[in-house]
Structure 1
Amino acid sequence: MSEKNLVKIKHPTAVSVCSGLELEGEALQLLTDATTPADYLSQLIEKELYPDAVRFLAGALPKREATWWACLSARKGLNENSPATDTQAVQLAEAWVYKPTDENRTKALAAAEATRLKTAAGWAAMAAFWSGGNISPVEGTVVPPADELSGKAVVGAVMLAAVQNGPEHVKGNYQCFLKQGLDIAAGGDGRSVQ
């Protein structure tokens, strides 16, 4: 993989992405000042440091693309037995991705809260809400979200989706989700990756 492939990641180095990320020791040891984001992701995936790869990619992608990745991950776990709140949370997060208006962003909050933030779908919706704008519940008070909040919600969505159908599927889920995320980072939509 080369950095030319990951056109959505605008950071010149992996180090420039890592501020505020909670990476584990082995992942931090791989980090050098000259490592590109693409090379760093390759190393993390090769060493099967999947949670760190998810954290890094969620922090490296723009918020809209990262939220789309969260939606894809959460949607993989939806089925006919899924609560309606989960389906609605993914749908409203996707609505924000398709049309990133403040109205769509705000609707995603109610959907996230309806899941009680116990599911990947809820965290995908929270990623949309924390993407920007005002997060204050107090009328007339403007509080923008911290820049890293949306990425942290994406991490929550992807990680919960990876573990939701049993320990025997965790590795395969991480591999699938990271392929989707890399496709998104390369300018694709992640849907063709299975």
Structure 2
Amino acid sequence: MTAQNLKKINQPIASEIAKLFELDEQGQVLLSAEMTPAEFIRVLIENEDYPDVVRFIAYALPKREATWWACLCARSCLSEHGKATDQKAIELAEAWVYKPTPEHCQPNYQAAEATAFKTPAGWAAMAAFWSGDNISPVKGNVVPPSADLPAKAVSGAVMLAAVQEGPEKIKERYQRFIQQGIDIAGGGDGRKI
């Protein structure tokens, strides 16, 4: 992995991205001032600091790509007998990714709420909702979301998805999801991982 293959990450210095969220203690130790995002991701993976890798990628990616990543991870948790609320939440979040308009953004809140905010799908929907321009439930009242909310929701979706199949699968799922995130950061769609 080289810096040039993470073309969706616009910040050339990892420490600038890491300022946007709180790294775990290990991540703080591993980060050096001039590291590129690719170098930092590589070091975090080598040290199996998967939660920091997830947060770092979620904050580094543009909102749309990050939300797509959350959708992919959440979709991996669906079974054929899964909850309809989760399926709906993912479908609405994906609709926003395909066409990021207010009309596709707003319904994501209700979809996330229907999941009781307890599933990866619900957090993927929240990432889409918080990526919009207005989080006010009152018509005509505009309340812009905080810039960090989409990345927080994406991190939550990916981390929840990683633990869905029990402790024996956590490492394997984190590794797969991180590779998807890296593929998306490189301009791919994350589906081939």
Whether 1:121 aligns to 2:121 is yes
Query: Does residue 174 of structure 2 align to residue 174 of structure 1?
Result: yes
SS in 1 for 2:146: coil
For the residues of structure 2 that align with 1:11 and 1:61, how far apart are their CA atoms? Answer: 10
Q: Shift of residue 21 of structure 1?
A: 0.8
Taking structure 1 as the reference length, the TM-score comes to: 0.98
User: Paired residue for 1:156?
Assistant: 156
Question: Structure 2: which 5+ runs fail to align?
Answer: none
Which amino acid in structure 2 is aligned with residue 128 of structure 1?
A
Q: CA deviation at 1:131?
A: 0.6
Tell me by how many angstroms 1:142 deviates.
1.4
**Is the aligned partner of 1:97 residue 2:84?**
no
Question: Any idea what SS the aligned residue of 1:16 has?
Answer: helix
- Note the C-alpha offset of 1:109: 1.1
What SS does the corresponding residue of 1:42 show, helix, strand or coil? helix
Q: Does 1:189 align with 2:189?
A: yes
Residue 54 of structure 1 is matched in structure 2 by 54
1: CA distance, partners of 2:119 / 2:153: 11
CA drift at 1:32: 1.8
- In structure 2, what is the equivalent of residue 13 of structure 1? 13
1:90 shift after superposition: 0.4
Tell me the alpha carbon deviations over residues 134-184 of structure 1, each in whole angstroms, 9 at most, x when there is no partner: 101223321111100000000000000000111110000000000000000
RMSD of Structure 2 on Structure 1 (CA): 0.8
Alignment partner, residue 86 of structure 1: 86
- Counterpart-to-counterpart distance in 2, 1:78 and 1:119: 10
Q: What are the residue-to-residue correspondences of 1:64-75 with 2, within 5 Å?
A: 64-75=64-75
CA distance in 1 between counterparts of 2:116 and 2:144 reads 22
Name which of structure 1's ranges 114-123 and 138-147 shifts more when overlaid on structure 2. Answer: 138-147
* Structure 1: segments with no counterpart, 5+ residues: none
State the alpha-carbon separation in 2 of the partners of residues 180 and 20 from structure 1: 22
Deviations 1:108-155 (A, max 9, x none): 111111101100000000000001311012233211111000000000
Q: Which moved more, 1:155-164 or 1:140-149?
A: 140-149
Q: Return the TM-score normalized by structure 2.
A: 0.98
Q: How many residues align?
A: 193
Over 3 Å off, 4+ runs:
none
Deviation at 1:19, TM superposition (A): 2.0
* Aligned residue type for 1:88: K
Question: How far, CA to CA, are the matches of 1:89 and 1:114 in structure 2?
Answer: 8
